[in-house]
Amino acid sequence: MSRHAAGSWIIGAVFLVQMAFASLPTPLYPLYQQRDGFAPFTITVIFAVYAVGVMASLVFLGHLSDWLGRRRMVASSVVLAVVADLVFLLSAAVPALIVARFVDGVAIGALTAAATTHYGELRATARPHEPRHRHGTVAGAINIGGLAVGPLVGGVLAQYVAHPLVVPYAVFAVLLVAGLAALVFVPETVDVHRRPYRPQRVSVPAGTATQFVVAGVGGAAGFAVLGLVNALGPGFMAGTLHEHSHLAAGAMVFGVMGASALSQLGLAGLAQRRQLQVGAALMTAGLAGLIGVGAGGTWLWLFVVSAVVAGAGTGLMFRSAIVVAASLAGPDNRGEVLAGMFLFVYLGITLPVVAVGVVLEFLPITDALILFAAVVLACVLGATALTLRRLRSAGPAQPDSATSLAMRPMPSARSASPRA
């Protein structure tokens, strides 16, 4: 095996482990809540702080691998993840959880563009005859696959080990350190050079603000569903549906995230209009099911199935938002426009989740679930109708090649093309 082929495997493994660590705490939140007795609002804050860290890192760090080197940025992100892991291990108090989640968010923002691009460049050298779009597709699958695997691993460990708030982080500390050591054997793929520092530029093309915002609302609505499921799904299962298995909670989140990834990969060949229609239909069905659960249908199966169906729709809605952003941008500002769309969409995983936490101070969680699902459904239907109107006026839609951008935080300007 060549150095570049081996390097692609190492980068892929490091990428997977670090993304899994980012979602590892999801099934553990009910344990923290049970031990310390804090309100659901605190969980939403802990979760939202992670997204804030990601967004800040995307703007200030996410593009630096073009200047400082891919391997150096990946290694720096792993070091940050190890720091976050140690904070989790040394203290389980709420302030420590907030700090750990923020630091890990910064690590993920620094990782995604660098690891995705590094993986693609290594694989392109090792397999020069392989289609380029496949590199991005595999990297995207690693990204979302890690996010899906993390809650499942966390749920298994929480269910069967004696110290469920310690052992999962100890396991990942070993994996992260091993990955950091393995990066020594990975070749660099860019020439390292110094430039005057500047944050990632964010822009919206002139005259396209309405189209941009409409697409962003649809993508943000999908991310809001993922945020709610990750932040409050396990607690809702334990408190309202009386399912106290941490394994079940982790498997539920795994199913939602996995459905989001599979819908994007499996339906990539459809025209954009058809993908958007299917995504809106899936989200409508899933959100209707969540409304039914909130209205008193205390069926665990209905909650899980509805969340998974909504997750599948989320993947297509998000993908559509990225495709719209790419179509509005020119070759000279694609990175800046995609940066704007990723930040817009990431607000959907932050503000609505915190808003639900505030509402929970005044309403039962079932009523909050109904309100949340109804608002998100209205956003999805409105954004879908307006986007379809634009697509009809633009003429026949063709299948696009943006699969590799699916469910990936903001790339750098160099790695922002649809094939990246």
Instruction: Report which of residues 68 and 406 the model is more confident about.
Output: 68
Beta bridge partners of 399: 271
pLDDT, tens digit, 9 for 90 and up, residues 63-107: 888 888 899 999 999 999 999 999 999 988 899 999 999 999 999
How many Å separate Cα 418 from the centre of its chain? Answer: 18
Q: What is the pTM of this model?
A: 0.81
Contact 259, 317 (CB under 8 A): no
CA distance 39 to 46: 12
- Report how far apart the first and last C-alpha atoms of the chain are (Å, whole number): 24
Rounded CA gap, 204 and 210, in Å?
A: 10
Question: What pLDDT score does 167 carry?
Answer: 95
Q: What's the distance, CA 413 to chain centroid?
A: 19
The arithmetic mean of pLDDT across residues 363-372, rounded, is 89
Here the contacts of 81-89 (C-beta below 8 Å, separation 24 or greater) are 81/18, 81/21, 81/22, 81/107, 81/176, 82/173, 82/176, 82/177, 82/180, 84/21, 85/21, 85/169, 85/172, 85/173, 85/176, 86/173, 88/25, 88/169, 89/166, 89/169, 89/170, 89/173
Neighbours of 90 (CB within 10 A): 11
CA 246 to chain centre: 21
Q: Please report the DSSP string for 299-325 in residue order.
A: -HHHHHHHHHHHHHHHHHHHHHHHHHH
The per-residue pLDDT for 28 is 92
- What is the DSSP code string of 196-254? ---PPP----TT-HHHHHHHHHHHHHHHHHHHHHHHHHHHHHHHTS----HHHHHHHHH
DSSP 27-58: GGHHHHHHHH---HHHHHHHHHHHHHHHHHHH
* Predicted confidence (pLDDT) per residue in 209-226, tens digit: 888 888 889 889 988 998
Retrieve residue 281's tokens: 């239909």
Cα-based torsion angle of the residue sequence 392, 394, 398, 399 in order, rounded to the nearest 10 degrees = -80
pLDDT of residue 155: 93
Tens digit of each residue's pLDDT (9 = 90 or more) over 149-173: 999 999 999 999 999 999 999 999 9
Instruction: Share the mean pLDDT of the chain.
Output: 85
- Measured between alpha carbons, how far is 396 from 312 in angstroms, rounded to an integer? 25
Cα(295)–Cα(111) distance, integer angstroms = 41
Rounded to the nearest 5°, which phi and psi values hold at 399?
-55, 140
pLDDT of residue 17 exceeding 80: yes
The alpha carbon torsion through 333, 71, 117, 122 (nearest 10 deg) reads: 140
DSSP tag of 329? S
> CA-to-CA distance for 49 and 354, rounded, in angstroms?
10
Tokens of 126: 């090792």
pLDDT > 90: percent of the chain: 36
User: Is the pLDDT confidence value at 268 over 80?
Assistant: no
The more confidently predicted of residues 380 and 130 is 380
Are the C-beta atoms of residues 339 and 329 closer than 8 Å to each other?
A: no
* Cβ atoms of 336 and 206 closer than 8 Å: no
Q: State the Cα–Cα distance between residues 19 and 268, nearest whole angstrom.
A: 23
Cα within 13 Å of Cα(3), Cβ side: 7
What is the token pair recorded at 114? Answer: 């660098």
Which pair of tokens denotes residue 45?
A: 């804050």
**What three-state secondary structure class fits 271?**
strand
Q: What is the pLDDT of residue 137?
A: 66
Read off the pLDDT band of 405 (50, 70, 90). very low
CA distance 32 to 396: 52
